[in-house]
Amino acid sequence: MKQSVERVLKSLASGSWFQGSHLFGKKTANGPELEAGELVNLSTVIGSPSELDQMQGIKFKDVFNTWKRIALNGNNPNAAPEEIDTWSFDDATDTVHCTVNSASTVGFISPNAYDHYTFEVDISSVNGDDDGIGLCLAYVGEGTSAYSLCLYRQAGSNVQPSASPVAPFALVYQPGVTGLPGYDPTTRKVGGVVGSLVFPDGTPIPAEGISTNGLNLGWDALGVVRIKVVREGNVITCQTSKGRGDLTYDPANKFVIDLNSSDDLRKFIPPCRVGFIAYSQPNASFKSLLQPGVNDQIIDARTNSVWTYDGANWSNAPFTAENAPVKEGRMYKNAITGSLYYVAGGFNFIRLN
């Protein structure tokens, strides 16, 4: 027996087992074999409509009630204390709206930190102002001092925590320092594009950026704008749609930054908190399509199927024994919903918690 176990262990592929591994039976054409694996695996498994809902999108009820509030200027996340709570929440539509024409960058910062994510959000405001709505892509610091990388989508004004002219789609480093390679100390900008973007009235934005405020209509005319951010370790890719009914991504309106390109940006290389922001834009609101911390494939234990997202819609397809995303005889925990499943023979999901 001892010899056969040793033979099995030696036959396992190098790197396939480690301290704490379990051995599991495996049925093959040549008869039974053993393979190593973890007793409990992290998974996107869901078992109810509300859990599916939870996995498919950020709940703004949670954002409103539990995420950190900021009224950011420079390195001070509480620079305008009177603007910290300037958000309303609508339970029926699960949306938040900015209630003021803020002087600081107001918003919400996530409790969790990420270094690999896809963040895709529809931003909008029914208000006629033309200022900034966006995302915080990385937030480092606690209490009274923070470093941040905030992505601003500007409808048509030169108002943003930077100097005029501003790019209509720009990543801004705060508090900012001089001497950062690729960093403009006047505008605090570390990346951004003008590309083929237009003012809310359809006028092309000049190549040098926006140097006016209030001349070309506002967010109520621009409508819904889609933003997609993909962070793969050090590299962050940002894309935006044009607005005015166009939700597609023109490659002209994309930029990439590498956090490993300077000492100042390297502070954001560890997993960082993210968030939703607005700058001087009343009624700013968000709809999250894909969010950090969630895989784009969700396993449905009710129907032995998987949900996948194509960039616009979720679709559902059954899995078979051949392409199953789980293995029989293993346990799967969903860290977001807290559920725990044991997958018995025949891919029978048994809920333990």
Binding site for Ca ion (CB under 5 A): 101, 129-131, 157, 213, 280
Give the tokens for residue 291.
Answer: 């969010």
Minimum CB distance to Ca ion smaller for 155 or for 294:
155
Tell how strand 330-333 and strand 40-42 pair up: parallel
CB of residue 199 vs Ca ion: minimum separation in angstroms? 12
CB of residue 146 vs Ca ion: minimum separation in angstroms? 23
Is 92 within 8 Å of 249 (Cβ atoms)? no
CB of residue 89 vs Ca ion: minimum separation in angstroms? 22
For residue 311, the SS3 value is: coil
Question: Could you tell me the strand order of the sheet in which 40-42 lies?
Answer: 40-42, 330-333, 340-344, 348-351
CB of residue 87 vs Ca ion: minimum separation in angstroms? 16
CB of residue 272 vs Ca ion: minimum separation in angstroms? 28
Instruction: Annotate 147-167 with b (16+ C-beta within 10 A) or e (fewer).
Output: bbbbbbbbbbbbbbbbebbbb
Is 347 within 8 Å of 321 (Cβ atoms)? yes
Minimum CB distance to Ca ion smaller for 51 or for 130:
130
Is 254 within 8 Å of 170 (Cβ atoms)? no
CB of residue 96 vs Ca ion: minimum separation in angstroms? 18
Of 169, 176, 220, residue with least CA distance to 198: 169
| Whole-number Å distance between alpha carbons of 69 and 77 | 8
Is 241 within 8 Å of 225 (Cβ atoms)? yes
Minimum CB distance to Ca ion smaller for 200 or for 292:
200
Minimum CB distance to Ca ion smaller for 150 or for 290:
150
For residue 94, the SS3 value is: coil
CB of residue 135 vs Ca ion: minimum separation in angstroms? 19
Minimum CB distance to Ca ion smaller for 129 or for 300:
129
Minimum CB distance to Ca ion smaller for 195 or for 282:
282
What's the CA angle centered on 148, arms 143 and 154, to 5 degrees? Answer: 125
Minimum CB distance to Ca ion smaller for 98 or for 301:
98
* Residues in contact with 313: Cβ distance below 8 Å, sequence separation at least 6, in sequence order: none
Minimum CB distance to Ca ion smaller for 120 or for 130:
130
- Residues belonging to the chain: 353
Q: Cis before residue 175, ω within 30 degrees of 0?
A: yes
Of 105, 107, 118, 141, residue with least CA distance to 270: 141
Give the tokens for residue 138.
Answer: 């990385």
CB of residue 71 vs Ca ion: minimum separation in angstroms? 15
Q: Select the residue whose beta carbon is closest to Ca ion and give its number.
A: 280
